[in-house]
Chain A
Amino acid sequence: GEDVEQSLFLSVREGDSSVINCTYTDSSSTYLYWYKQEPGAGLQLLTYIFSNMDMKQDQRLTVLLNKKDKHLSLRIADTQTGDSAIYFCAEAGNTGKLIFGQGTTLQVKP
């Protein structure tokens, strides 16, 4: 079935770049999403990429998609303490539902 995998934890220093990785299994995915969840809150849509794109940049965020390897990444430039959160990738699979990864906790050290 459809599956989305992420590493569980990433720690970086303030000012460094963060790269959060995600792999998925459904080759028919049309859209792939990145969401951010701060403690005790709902999910906030950060950005998304259509499956016929390789890259999308939005201010400090860069999304890279390798469709052949079914690999998605989110790069956050100049990471700030306010970026500390859980980041979820999600794919719109062929069942028409969003499938979420387990989430990557990003810890930003001052």
Chain B
Amino acid sequence: DGGITQSPKYLFRKEGQNVTLSCEQNLNHDAMYWYRQDPGQGLRLIYYSQIVNDFQKGDIAEGYSVSREKKESFPLTVTSAQKNPTAFYLCASSPEGIVSEQYFGPGTRLTVT
């Protein structure tokens, strides 16, 4: 089955710890994205990557970091510098670059206490 997987589904961390969220796709898509979703708000773009070994900051990149060493994988690290890390994180990919339709993974709910 082709698709986007995110793991784990739920993640709990103590304040001050870095945590890495996994995102893998086997759709052969060039572009990948990370969004953050908070209750009652739309999706906000954290980082995106249109090609391997290249990525750009989105609207709320502070406190986050990414890497794109392989086409299939786009992990997101939430660092201790992120002030309010508790949120639902969604990964997406797109076949033709940033403007075309995006396909989403199931999400990871991160809780930091």
Contacts and interface: CB of A to CB of B under 8 A. Distances in A.
- Please say whether chains A and B are actual partners in one complex: yes
B105 A96 contact: no
Given A41-B106, A43-B90, A43-B104, A96 B42 contact: no
A68 interface: no
Interface in B89-113: 90, 92, 97-107, 109
Interface residues on A, range: 20 to 34
B32 to A, nearest CB: 13
Nearest to B6: A42
Contacts of B99: 30-31, 92, 96, 98
Contacts of B45: 97-98
Contacts, number: 53
B43 A100 contact: yes
A8 B90 contact: no
B101 A48 contact: yes
B42 A42 contact: no
Contacts of A98: 45, 98-99, 102
B90 A101 contact: no
A74 interface: no
A53 interface: no
Interface in A28-53: 30-31, 33, 35, 40-45, 48
B58 interface: yes
A88 B41 CA distance: 10
Nearest to B105: A42
Interface in B34-79: 40-43, 45, 48, 58
Interface of B: 4, 6, 40-43, 45, 48, 58, 90, 92, 97-107, 109
Given A41-B106, A42-B90, 20 more contacts: A35-B104, A42-B6, A42-B105, A42-B106, A42-B107, A43-B43, A43-B92, A43-B104, A44-B104, A45-B101, A45-B102, A88-B42, A88-B43, A92-B100, A97-B48, A98-B98, A98-B99, A100-B43, A101-B42, A103-B42
26 contacts: A8-B40, A31-B99, A31-B100, A31-B101, A33-B101, A35-B104, A41-B106, A42-B4, A42-B6, A42-B90, A42-B106, A43-B90, A43-B92, A45-B102, A48-B101, A88-B42, A88-B43, A92-B100, A96-B97, A97-B45, A97-B98, A98-B45, A98-B102, A100-B42, A102-B40, A103-B42
